[in-house]
A = this chain, B = another copy of it.
Amino acid sequence: MEESQAHGNKLHEVLVLGSPWVFPVLHSQFSNRFHFLKPFLSSLSLLQFLSSYAQSIQALLIPGGCLHLTSAVLDCLPALKLVVTTSTGVDHLDLPELRRRQIAIAYVPDLYSEDVADLAVGLLIDVLRRVSAGDRFLRLGLRPTKGDFPPLGLKLSGKRVGIVGLGQIGSKVAKRLEGFDCKISYNSRTKKPLVPYSYYSNVHELASNCDGLVICCGLTEETRHMINREVMVALGKDGVIINVGRGAIIDEKAMVECLIKGEIGGVGLDVFENEPEIPEELFNLDNVVLSPHVAVITHETSVELSKLVVDNLEAFFSNKPLVTPLPNN
């Protein structure tokens, strides 16, 4: 039986943009309550799909970071009244434009910071200790006993790690790295009271005093390309950078150059400047770990998230207040 027939065609339609990670869980649990439109599975272009099928769509679901909700997209959705983003950051949304069109926004407040911090530490260990590179070495059939040496890693314990952005995520990264006897320092807009770590008011000075940087801040005009060539050179040739914030916080072109010239020691990236594009030069490097923007997503969290999405959608379709509206919007 078709899902839309099960309830006498009364399922509310929800447009799903950009194939959010949570979608498989959401679909398997809630396709009896909503009819999901999936342009990412269509052979049509997005705008063609929207013009053909989404004229009456009132609500859409969009992941963070990857796909931008542009005016061109919004113009194809004349009935849109609600955007539900599955992210905490909203830099992919044009807030003034959505406000002008009187479109409400539901977002996800802190649900992810533990998962993000866990992955940040995982990427840091992976880059330093060449975990993914070692796995690739073995899966390629290479063996030390055949005279091949796997890539030699760097030590984590005791290293000086700088946290860029000591918010919910950054604080959890710091707490985790204390267990590795790392010496933690941080950069943020203002010095935090009651925090035992050394504060550096600028990121260049932080980099000069660290063996690794973990980027946990949001993307703003101030943080865009904050990690530039000078900062990377200050970090040095054994220094590593982990990015679980937003891609454009790093000057990606400069980063690729520094990696190729051996001016930094390695990077672990869950985000990229022009997602889904990834600079091709990175694919050949063993001191690079690439992660498909999954810092926030685990099975456990996707179950919680999918409930939160559905609660917001049901509130909207019942004319009740959103469960997690974006504040000050």
Give A contacts to B, CB under 8 Å: 18-19, 21, 23-24, 40-41, 66-67, 114-115, 117-119, 121-123, 125-126, 128-132, 134-139, 143-145, 147, 149-150, 152-158, 175-181, 275-276, 278, 283, 289-294, 297-302
CB atoms of A298 and B154 under 8 A apart: yes
Query: What residues of B have a CB within 8 angstroms of the CB of A178 in the complex?
Result: 179
CB atoms of A299 and B179 under 8 A apart: no
**Distance between A177 CB and nearest chain B CB, rounded to angstroms:** 7
CB atoms of A19 and B138 under 8 A apart: no
CB atoms of A157 and B123 under 8 A apart: no
CB atoms of A150 and B294 under 8 A apart: yes
CB atoms of A291 and B145 under 8 A apart: no
Q: How many copies of this chain?
A: 2
Ordered by A's residue number, 6 sampled pairs between the chains whose C-beta atoms are within 8 Å are A23-B149, A118-B155, A121-B125, A131-B289, A138-B278, A144-B276
CB atoms of A134 and B300 under 8 A apart: no
CB atoms of B294 and A153 under 8 A apart: yes
Determine the distance from Cα of A147 to Cα of B130 in the docked complex, in whole angstroms: 29
CB atoms of B118 and A125 under 8 A apart: yes
Give the nearest-CB partner of A150 in chain B: B292
**Distance between A128 CB and nearest chain B CB, rounded to angstroms:** 8
8 tightest A-B CB contacts, nearest first: A122-B125, A179-B179, A114-B157, A176-B179, A155-B298, A155-B300, A132-B132, A132-B135
Q: Which of B117, B126, B276 contacts A131 (CB 8 A)?
A: B126
Determine the distance from Cα of A175 to Cα of B176 in the docked complex, in whole angstroms: 10
Q: Which of B128, B152, B176 contacts A297 (CB 8 A)?
A: B152
CB atoms of A145 and B19 under 8 A apart: yes
Give the nearest-CB partner of A118 in chain B: B156
Determine the distance from Cα of A35 to Cα of B153 in the docked complex, in whole angstroms: 27
